[in-house]
A and B are shown apart, each in its own frame.
Chain A
Amino acid sequence: MAILEVNNIKKIYTTRFGANKVQALSDVSFSVEKGEYVAIMGESGSGKTTLLNILAALDRPTSGSVCLDGNELSKIRETKIAEFRRENLGFVFQDFNLLDTFTLKDNIMLPLVLAGKHYGEMRAKLMPIVQKLGIEGLMGKYPYEVSGGQKQRAAVARALITHPKLILADEPTGALDSKSTDELLELFGKINQEGQTILMVTHSVKAASHASRVLFIKDGEVFHQIYRGNSSSEALYQKISDTLTILMTGGERR
């Protein structure tokens, strides 16, 4: 069953005085099944971030539709959109986006506080997640006191705590060293195996090679996709590399 359906979305940006139009997405369609782990790859300027913003309901497409678990995003009223985002989506960003005025614990609990949950309930939800991510000893620390990998794990905990239908990750390994990257990808694999649907946008072949499916975007369209099938991460890595080489050298559409 598809949890996310993206149909023919198109996004045109108009410059401030309407003089120039830039087409960021021309026609993108794909769907994500429940429990899937999808990576979206593409070069800078291929429209990845625009796509992610549209999926996150931070931006609206010029045309086309996005359905999350049967709800069409464009039909949700402006006043409800933040609530919808809070309840159905979890975010992991390249630069963590933790608030420096909060301890890690408060950062992780933020979505629950915004949802108006009771403190007891928050605590009950907090503990298993931070234990799973191995950051239970850091709860009283502030973001500037911990390492990048620890920050990103806190950000993952914040994304998971609402049990969202979909996790959107935007270059989650972009600011991490290789060890932290490995740990984070392992973590993503683990939570995916527990049934969490993940959609990740990335540059990194290594990151993408952990996904169960990889979509390639070029010039605002889905150019190609690869299923992992039964291949190992290493094999998938090779396939992705090859595809990227074709993409780079300007290969024709399949």
Chain B
Amino acid sequence: MRLGFYPKLAVTGIAKNKKTYVPYILTGIGMVMMFYIVTFLSENSAVGNMRGGESVQGFLSLGIGVIGIFSTMLLFYTNSFLIRRRKKEFGLYNILGMSKGNLSRVIIWESLIIAVTSIVLGLGCGVLFSKAAELLVSRILDSTVGFNFTVDEEALVMTLKWFGVIFSLILLSSLYQVYKSKPVELMKSESVGEKPPKANWLLALVGLVLLGGAYYLAITIQDPITVMLLFFVAVVMVIVATYLLFIAGSVTFCRLLQKNKRYYYKTNHFISLSSMVYRMKRNGAGLASICILSTMVLVMISSTSCLYIGGEDMLRQRYPRNMVLETNVADKEYTAYFHQVIDEELAAHQQREENAIHYRYVSFGGIREDDRIILDESKISASVDFSNYWQIFVIPLEDYNQIMGTSETVAEGEALIYATKTNFKYDEITLDGIGTFHVKNAEEGFVSNKTDSMQIMPSMFLFVPDVTDILNALNEIVVRTGDKGARGMAYIHDYYGFDLACDEQEQTEIYNRIMERVTAEPIMEATGLSAEEVAEQNLSVSFECMAAYRDDYLSLNSGFFALGLILGLVFICGAVLIMYYKQIIEGYEDQSRFEILQKVGMTKKEIKKSINSQVLTVFFAPLIMSGIHMGFAFPLVSKLLMLFGLMNIRLLILVTLGSFGVFALFYILVYLATSRAYYSIVSENNLD
């Protein structure tokens, strides 16, 4: 045998099976490329130097692991399919006199060609597109990068190592499979008689119950804290239920329909239904995986992009004005000092306060029991259920009217009430030890509040003509319980926020100047008290500037978004590939069935129609199912996002629908492409 014989055999082997090998190599290239790009981004100093770049890199290094593991699974899955199809050919070679050693050499050459092609082209594309990815990240981070083009050696080596190992393992598993089988088995391995699938009522029922339970959980949980605890429970339930329903439920459903003789023995249903049973048995697990992958992609992309798009919104919730001064003593003389500092610095920069808001508030927490708020610290700390914990703000009605531009009045024993995150549906509200108020709803709401926007628990704003009664009552509670930690709540805080017309850089400068002075001459200066006295009275002041915090705040969201986009892309590629191979397998298996159907008197058109309806069902069942999953997951996701401070439900709805739409479109395109491959296989010698 000449030296070039094995390579030649390997090349023709790949070329002859290009329908299955080309997608495999493409997957290899795609995975290598993604892996390199993500590694490159997480290592590259240019990204690290961007504003917020480091946190993005932190997320991306998580992504490396996910992509690594996912690509291993995907390549193994694909390869097992390829080997199954090739076994007949190998069996023939074996019978024609090639030993298993010879066969191994062919397989080794094939693997070598595939691995080298995948890695070289993948790295090439990776290097080529890494700049584009860098630009994309800089765009997400709202930053700029230079035009220099770099190749990251470390990333290159890491990619080479990782995929070298994967392809070697795949080679070993193929060799093992060929070694352990006999030639006659190799010849036959594709046409092993298949047992008819049996309906498994129990598993189907368990699946239904689990899914129902998960859905019930998803729509009934109201408060975000329980959501956080139960989210993963619900996810696991849905995953298990999806597998059970696709594997057992679908077969059981088909069997049930077959029992109905009138339905089953109809021309349209007869062929489709009986083939569907087998199709679902073979593909149940794959379809469930596709369904779960798509749901994951959708949830991930919609929530991360929602966080990213809504970032500015969330920032505004957190910082209702560009600059916010908060002091926990609403004493005019005391606050006047800080106002003076601000005024001086603004004057120095020739800026004026705009959109100023000013209000005083008393704030404390309590456990809500129906229309009662329990303030007793001992009862609060004894409680394990934090889902009823509420934040209460009491604000003078006068301040409310001034800010909202209204002239609301309340009767004796009445309070204007505004609750965030949940509805308060009672006519009365009792604050334990303080008093009971008739509820008058504040239809217009109120300006957003930092504490409220950062907490997952709901807040209640009470607007009353006079806060001193409440303050006194609170003081009594503090004295009675002797709890030092509770002391902070018995103060009237002063909230002062304003916008500036200048750009953010200048705002940051002004902010830094003011901070220097406020911290250099702190509260002692303002009040004339000693440091001990200040600590004793729990006095504090905070001054915040949105511009100075923006990067820190948004880079988290950007990191999520970048990771979501990249993983979403990888998962979609995986789902597409699995779908493609499913179609191809089906195609080969349907080939012979086609012939028989034609011989017993079905027209080509009828066969095509029947096959089409089955393929459509198989293909779109996961999409529809994941759409339903998404729908039920929506309340959970929206509450989870609340934890991150995203309150804009409308945005979430739009983004979710948008990503589902884009995904569905993509899915249909893939369907059209793969169904063409499918038809070309089944009609190879049948449907001309």
Q: Does A pair with B?
A: yes
Known: A79-B603, A106-B274, A142-B196. A116 touches B596 (CB 8 A): no
Q: Say how far B684's CB is from chain A's closest CB, in angstroms.
A: 13
Partner among A56, A97, A111, A113 whose Cβ is within 8 Å of the Cβ of B266 = A113
Name which residue of chain B comes closest to A96, CB basis: B596
How many pairs, one residue from A and one from B, have CB atoms within 8 Å of each other in the complex? 71
Q: Say how far A151's CB is from chain B's closest CB, in angstroms.
A: 12
Task: Mark the stretch among A82-90, A130-138, A224-232, A244-252 that contacts chain B.
Answer: A82-90
Q: Say how far A220's CB is from chain B's closest CB, in angstroms.
A: 23
- For A85, A101, A116, which residue has the most chain B Cβ atoms within 10 angstroms? A101
Is A101 within 8 A of B600, CB to CB?
no
Chain B positions 274 through 293: 1 when the CB is less than 8 Å from some CB of chain A, otherwise 0: 11011000000000000000
Is A82 within 8 A of B602, CB to CB?
yes
Counting CB contacts under 8 A, is B405 at the interface?
A: no
Q: Say how far A124's CB is from chain B's closest CB, in angstroms.
A: 13
- For B193, B196, B262, which residue has the most chain A Cβ atoms within 10 angstroms? B196
Name which residue of chain B comes closest to A79, CB basis: B603
Name which residue of chain A comes closest to B258, CB basis: A106
Counting CB contacts under 8 A, is B267 at the interface?
A: yes
Is B601 within 8 A of A86, CB to CB?
yes
Counting CB contacts under 8 A, is B265 at the interface?
A: yes
Is A111 within 8 A of B599, CB to CB?
no
B349-364, CB < 8 A from A: none
B593-633, CB < 8 A from A: 593, 595-606
Q: Which residues on the B side are within 8 Å of A58 (C-beta)?
A: 598-599
Q: Which residues on the B side are within 8 Å of A111 (C-beta)?
A: 600-601
B35-69, CB < 8 A from A: none
Counting CB contacts under 8 A, is B270 at the interface?
A: yes
Partner among A86, A99, A119 whose Cβ is within 8 Å of the Cβ of B593 = A99
Q: Say how far B271's CB is from chain A's closest CB, in angstroms.
A: 8
Counting CB contacts under 8 A, is A13 at the interface?
A: no
Partner among A87, A89, A101, A115 whose Cβ is within 8 Å of the Cβ of B275 = A101
Is B599 within 8 A of A110, CB to CB?
no
Counting CB contacts under 8 A, is B261 at the interface?
A: yes
Name which residue of chain A comes closest to B599, CB basis: A91
A71-124, CB < 8 A from B: 79, 81-83, 85-87, 89, 91, 93, 97-103, 106, 109-111, 113-116, 119, 122
Is A100 within 8 A of B194, CB to CB?
yes
Counting CB contacts under 8 A, is A48 at the interface?
A: no
Name which residue of chain B comes closest to A155, CB basis: B600
Q: How far is the CA of A67 from the CA of B427 in the complex (A)?
A: 91
Is A82 within 8 A of B601, CB to CB?
yes
Counting CB contacts under 8 A, is A144 at the interface?
A: yes
Counting CB contacts under 8 A, is A153 at the interface?
A: no
Q: Which residues on the B side are within 8 Å of A158 (C-beta)?
A: 600
Q: Say how far A37's CB is from chain B's closest CB, in angstroms.
A: 22
Is A56 within 8 A of B599, CB to CB?
yes
Q: Say how far A90's CB is from chain B's closest CB, in angstroms.
A: 9
Q: Which residues on the A side are within 8 Å of B275 (C-beta)?
A: 101
Q: Say how far B649's CB is from chain A's closest CB, in angstroms.
A: 48
Q: Which residues on the A side are within 8 Å of B274 (C-beta)?
A: 99, 101-102, 106
Q: Which residues on the B side are within 8 Å of A82 (C-beta)?
A: 598, 601-604, 606
Partner among A86, A97, A103, A144 whose Cβ is within 8 Å of the Cβ of B596 = A97
Partner among B265, B602, B606 whose Cβ is within 8 Å of the Cβ of A109 = B265
Name which residue of chain A comes closest to B279, CB basis: A101
Q: Say how far A17's CB is from chain B's closest CB, in angstroms.
A: 16
Is B261 within 8 A of A119, CB to CB?
yes
Q: How far is the CA of A244 from the CA of B523 in the complex (A)?
A: 121
Q: How far is the CA of A86 from the CA of B597 in the complex (A)?
A: 11
Q: Say how far A115's CB is from chain B's closest CB, in angstroms.
A: 8
Q: Which residues on the B side are within 8 Å of A142 (C-beta)?
A: 195-196
Q: How far is the CA of A113 from the CA of B597 in the complex (A)?
A: 12
Is B596 within 8 A of A101, CB to CB?
no
Known: A106-B274, A113-B266, A114-B267. A85 touches B596 (CB 8 A): no
Partner among B193, B195, B261, B596 whose Cβ is within 8 Å of the Cβ of A99 = B596
Partner among B193, B265, B595 whose Cβ is within 8 Å of the Cβ of A100 = B193
Q: How far is the CA of A85 from the CA of B261 in the complex (A)?
A: 26
Is B600 within 8 A of A91, CB to CB?
yes
Q: Which residues on the B side are within 8 Å of A93 (C-beta)?
A: 599
Q: How far is the CA of A102 from the CA of B270 in the complex (A)?
A: 10
Is A97 within 8 A of B599, CB to CB?
yes
Q: How far is the CA of A103 from the CA of B259 in the complex (A)?
A: 13
Q: Say how far A86's CB is from chain B's closest CB, in angstroms.
A: 3
Q: How far is the CA of A82 from the CA of B608 in the complex (A)?
A: 14
Q: How far is the CA of A116 from the CA of B270 in the complex (A)?
A: 10
Q: Which residues on the B side are within 8 Å of A144 (C-beta)?
A: 193-195
For the complex with contacts A79-B605, A101-B196, A114-B602, 5 further pairs of A-B residues with Cβ separation under 8 Å are: A87-B601, A100-B194, A101-B277, A102-B274, A103-B196
Using a CB–CB cutoff of 8 Å, the interface residues on chain A facing chain B are 56, 58, 79, 81-83, 85-87, 89, 91, 93, 97-103, 106, 109-111, 113-116, 119, 122, 142, 144, 158
Cβ-closest 10 pairs across A and B: A86-B601, A82-B603, A144-B193, A113-B270, A97-B596, A119-B265, A101-B274, A85-B601, A119-B261, A142-B196
